[in-house]
Amino acid sequence: MLIGELARRSGVSARMLRHYDALGLVRPTGRTVGGYREYGPEDIRRIFHVEGLRSLGLSLREIGRVLDDPGLTPPTLVADLIRKSEERLHRERELLERLRAVDAAEPAGWQGVLRIVELLHGLGSHSAARRQQAVLAPGQDVSMPAELLAEALLAESDQNVAGALRWALARSGGDGVASLAAGLDADDPEVRRRAVHALAELPGAGATAALTAALADGDPAIRRHAALALGARGMTCAVPTLVDTVVQGPNDVEAAELLGTLAQDAEWSGRIMGALVDALAAHPADSAARMRLTQAFAEMPGTVALGTMRKLAHDDDRAVALLAAALVDMFEERAQ
């Protein structure tokens, strides 16, 4: 079969067939009287073998080795191809994410594009100092993609870099709440903690809703930080967790102050007092918890807690009684 006819039947161009011949990959076994290439059945079979291996991503040199070296086993070659394909896909995914980050930032000019690329390179550094420097570098009026910052924050284990990312996220002008909220579903509690810390610094209903969901987290530190952030926003759904925080600590002083602020609402004053009294009754032998609860009563507005503190001034726990008595004296002096 002459080269022109073979090209038509096989779909391999005559130019490529000549290239195969020049490389020694597929050489026609015959020549016509006029010197034209003439391919026999074995030559045609070899061409289809070449094309099949090319479809797997092998280079022409690798194909030549496969066809001419019977010792080169398929598992070895296929494993190498898989590794190379995975590396190529990884590079392509990185490029895709980089392009998406640039597109999300909507830079006005090439300086903006370069700033985002610089940030991406910096965030990929093994050096915490380099990552922090990349985040804090002058922005040149370029808004950083909030989703990129949020994803970097969730993956960041260095506290200083995480702080810089939270700062940049708050200033980004974008909405990274969705990415941070997704971090609350992570299996790793450290990722969830980073998410709730960042959400606490973001305004808006979306962040508040995500923090409210975090009140059900299995990690007490996450529940505590979510409650403190919600309490500061005036959200009464945080009251049970704030009371638990007073009992358990740490952050009991901050939790007590927030409960006092929330109790200024007449509708919630009685509920909060009731929750604190119930907590006191639930820990009759825990002196440290009772001390913290006594201090929390002192944060209640007006004289709401005065009757309870007078009773505590006669508590069986001497430390609690002394503290309550001192607080009662302070309240009575103020009243005078």
Q: Give me the sign of the Cα torsion angle 226, 229, 231, 234.
A: negative
pLDDT attached to residue 6: 86
What is the value of pTM for the model shown? 0.69
Cα–Cα nearest to 214, from 234, 189, 232, 233: 189
Q: Hey, what are 107's tokens? A: 């830079």
Six token digits for residue 125: 């550094």
Residue 108, exposed/middle/buried by CB under 10 A (0-12, 13-18, 19+)? exposed
Which tokens hold the place of 201?
């610094």
Cα 41 → chain centroid: 59
Neighbours of 47 (CB within 10 A): 20
Q: In the block, which residue shows the tokens 């009294």?
A: 277
pLDDT value of residue 219: 96
Buried b (16+ CB within 10 A) or exposed e, 319-328: ebbebbbebb
Gap between the Cα atoms of 1 and 93, Å rounded: 45
Cβ count near 297 (within 10 Å)? 26
Per-residue model confidence as pLDDT tens for the chain (336 residues): 888 888 888 889 999 999 988 888 888 888 877 788 888 888 888 888 888 888 888 889 888 888 887 776 778 778 888 888 888 888 888 777 777 777 776 777 777 787 778 888 888 889 999 999 888 886 555 667 788 889 899 999 999 999 999 988 888 755 789 889 999 999 999 999 999 999 999 988 999 999 999 999 999 999 999 999 999 999 999 999 999 999 998 999 999 999 999 999 999 999 999 999 999 999 999 999 999 999 999 999 988 899 999 999 999 999 999 999 999 998 887 666
CA distances from 46 to 18, 31, 227, 247 (A): 14, 17, 71, 80
**Rg (Cα) of the chain, in Å, rounded?**
35
Q: Which amino acid, one-letter code, is at 281?
A: A
Q: What one-letter code names the amino acid at 121?
A: H
With contact defined as beta carbons under 8 Å apart, do 199 and 180 qualify?
yes
